[in-house]
């Protein structure tokens, strides 16, 4: 394993990347004020693994090497490891109050691990061994790997091969003696600029000869010169660029990151190819990745929720409203909703089972129920938080106003709540709630809750598939006498 400091240095040591932020090419991503908070978040996954008090959650023994590794590099080997994953994610969410970006690669690893094993069993390929070899390097170097699934998709009514622009889906454009060449793009890539490698997967179930070139999974170094990155905008993101701005950012050290990654005829050597044309396994890979990632949200979003609940409780105290019965009830409701989400994450983990490859997967029904709740309950938690915070959260003067010799004293006097609490404390807590519910951190807490790991309808489709409705109808027929089975 490596330390947080070595992780950040490893990003500096990588080759130059073609990264664009707000239309400008950025040469130094590590120290860019809009990007560095997300790097700090990812670094937290390394820092916590260094601390003895979190060793049991953050580390595990590798089943490949027998060495102690960071849990984010681990193919799950038991139900307990699935449960510990969720607990680890809650901890990381507590420590960052944001998306810490390393979960997607961990979930992609586990999905590709089991799927390649089953592809090999059916088609006689050697993908699984290739992938295990890559995982061994992944663990040894403690890499952060971006899991890349979502394509632009273009016209949703058309399959990949029928799109007017073929780059709407990542595809193979050339097969060579030593590897393949791919073209296309992956959207909404969480933490891709903070990663050492990118693990690409197909984005949907595919079938037929015309879709074979789109049924591709591979890994590529994140500093490959053929890659182009376009950094995504977030609400209030330019506050990070304002001179002297610190408090107004809300979360002063941490933040999320989303970017588009474009493959411009990227060469992939054979040893880094893990699916090539096996359309019959694209659905399996997508469902397994989605299941793992829907489980993840029962940890990370709950960790963020803890922070938001704490900020809301603090503001109730600063406002002098902590003893009001309706405020107490709102805080109780926020806790109830947050722990409901956590219960779903733990449940789908505890009901997990072994795949043919030996690593463990979650209960698919419960994972989708977990994510369906995630698309709803954080929004109610955020609403209640804004209710408790009050309207000042969105009308509060800026940090520069508080520093002004002319108007600063007025700001300090008029924005104070309880006399014993410094105005700056109230100011800081207001900005944190603002950032988490409508600002730059809201991407990681709310928008990801809605669309990350698939939008709400995707979970409803999977819930319908897993419901086993015929069995439920059979139970009802037996009890009402239509189809008695003579139990007694």
Check if the beta carbon of residue 321 is closer than 8 Å to that of residue 390. no
| Residue 77: C-alpha distances to residues 81, 133, 137 (Å) | 6, 17, 18
Catalytic residue among 128, 188, 196, 293: 293
Catalytic residue among 118, 211, 213, 258: 258
| Sheet of 145-148, strands arranged across | 145-148, 197-200, 216-221, 273-276
- Rounded to whole angstroms, the maximal C-alpha distance in the chain is 87
Given CA atoms 404, 405, 407, 410 in this order, what sign does their dihedral have?
Answer: positive
Catalytic residue among 127, 254, 297, 342: 297
| Residue 43: C-alpha distances to residues 79, 197, 249, 359, 372 (Å) | 27, 16, 19, 26, 29
Given CA atoms 80, 378, 108, 458 in this order, what sign does their dihedral have?
Answer: positive
Catalytic residue among 42, 92, 300, 344: 300
Helices (H), 404-481: 408-414, 423-437, 442, 448-451, 456-466, 469-480
Active site residue 246: no
| Residue 413 to residue 423: CA distance in whole angstroms | 8
Active site residue 32: no
Catalytic residue among 99, 344, 348, 370: 99
Is 160 buried (19+), middle (13-18) or exposed (0-12) by CB count in 10 A?
Answer: buried
Active site residue 293: yes
Residue with tokens 């090419």: 25
| Residue 210 to residue 159: CA distance in whole angstroms | 9
Cα within 13 Å of Cα(416), Cβ side? 12
Catalytic residue among 45, 59, 190, 279: 190
- Rounded to 5°, the CA angle 307-310-313 comes to 150
Check if the beta carbon of residue 85 is closer than 8 Å to that of residue 190. no
Active site residue 297: yes
Active site residue 190: yes
Catalytic residue among 41, 103, 370, 411: 103
**Which pair of tokens denotes residue 31?**
């120290």
| Residue 98 to residue 381: CA distance in whole angstroms | 15
Given CA atoms 379, 382, 387, 391 in this order, what sign does their dihedral have?
Answer: negative
Active site residue 99: yes
Active site residue 188: no
Helices (H), 124-222: 127-141
Check if the beta carbon of residue 246 is closer than 8 Å to that of residue 432. no
Q: Which of 143, 186, 162, 182 is nearest to 266 (CA)?
A: 182
**Which pair of tokens denotes residue 182?**
């791919």
Active site residue 300: yes
Is 476 buried (19+), middle (13-18) or exposed (0-12) by CB count in 10 A?
Answer: exposed
Q: Which of 390, 271, 267, 382 is nearest to 324 (CA)?
A: 390
Residue with tokens 């139900």: 79
Please list the active-site residues: 99, 103, 190, 258, 293, 297, 300, 448
């Amino acid at each position: 394993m490596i330390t947080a400091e070595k992780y950040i240095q490893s990003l500096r040591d990588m080759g130059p990347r073609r990264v664009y932020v707000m239309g400008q090419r950025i040469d130094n991503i590590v120290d860019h004020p809009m990007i560095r908070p997300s790097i700090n978040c990812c670094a937290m996954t390394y820092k916590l693994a260094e601390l003895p008090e979190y060793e049991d959650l953050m580390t595990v023994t590798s089943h490949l090497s027998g060495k102690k590794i960071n849990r984010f590099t681990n193919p799950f080997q038991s139900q307990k490891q699935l449960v510990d994953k969720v607990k680890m994610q809650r901890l990381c969410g507590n420590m960052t109050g944001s998306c810490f970006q390393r979960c997607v690669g961990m979930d992609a690893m586990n999905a590709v691990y089991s799927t390649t094993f089953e592809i090999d069993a059916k088609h006689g390929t050697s993908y699984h061994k290739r992938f295990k070899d890559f995982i061994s390097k992944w663990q040894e170097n403690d890499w952060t790997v971006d899991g890349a699934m979502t394509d632009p998709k273009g016209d949703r009514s058309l399959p990949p091969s029928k799109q007017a622009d073929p780059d709407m889906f990542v595809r193979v454009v050339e097969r060579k003696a030593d590897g393949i060449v791919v073209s296309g793009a992956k959207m909404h890539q969480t933490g891709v600029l903070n990663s050492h490698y990118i693990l690409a997967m197909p984005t949907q179930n595919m079938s037929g000869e015309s879709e074979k070139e789109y049924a591709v999974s591979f890994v590529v170094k994140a500093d490959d010169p053929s890659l182009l990155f376009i950094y995504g905008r977030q609400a209030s993101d330019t506050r990070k660029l304002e001179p002297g701005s610190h408090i107004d950012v809300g979360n002063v050290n941490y933040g999320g990151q989303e970017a588009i990654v474009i493959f411009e005829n990227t060469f992939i050597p054979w040893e880094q190819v893990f699916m090539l044309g096996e359309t019959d396994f694209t659905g399996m890979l997508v469902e397994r990745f989605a299941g793992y990632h829907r489980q993840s949200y029962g940890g990370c979003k709950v960790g963020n929720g803890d922070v938001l609940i704490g900020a809301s409780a603090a503001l109730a105290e600063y406002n002098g409203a902590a003893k009001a019965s309706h405020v107490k009830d709102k805080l109780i409701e926020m806790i109830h909703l947050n722990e409901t989400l956590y219960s779903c994450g733990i449940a789908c983990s505890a009901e997990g089972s072994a795949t043919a490859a030996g690593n463990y997967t979650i209960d698919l029904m419960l994972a989708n129920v977990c994510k369906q709740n995630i698309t709803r309950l954080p929004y109610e938690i955020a609403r209640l938080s804004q209710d408790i915070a009050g309207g000042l959260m969105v009308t509060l003067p800026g940090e520069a106003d508080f520093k002004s010799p002319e108007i600063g004293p007025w700001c300090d006097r008029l924005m104070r709540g309880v006399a014993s609490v410094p105005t700056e404390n109230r100011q800081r807590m207001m900005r944190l709630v603002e950032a988490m519910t409508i600002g730059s951190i809201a991407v990681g807490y709310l928008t990801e809750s809605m669309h990350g790991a698939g939008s709400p309808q995707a979970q409803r489709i999977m819930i319908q598939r897993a419901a086993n409705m015929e069995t439920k109808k059979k139970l009802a027929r037996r009890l009402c006498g239509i189809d008695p089975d003579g139990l007694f």
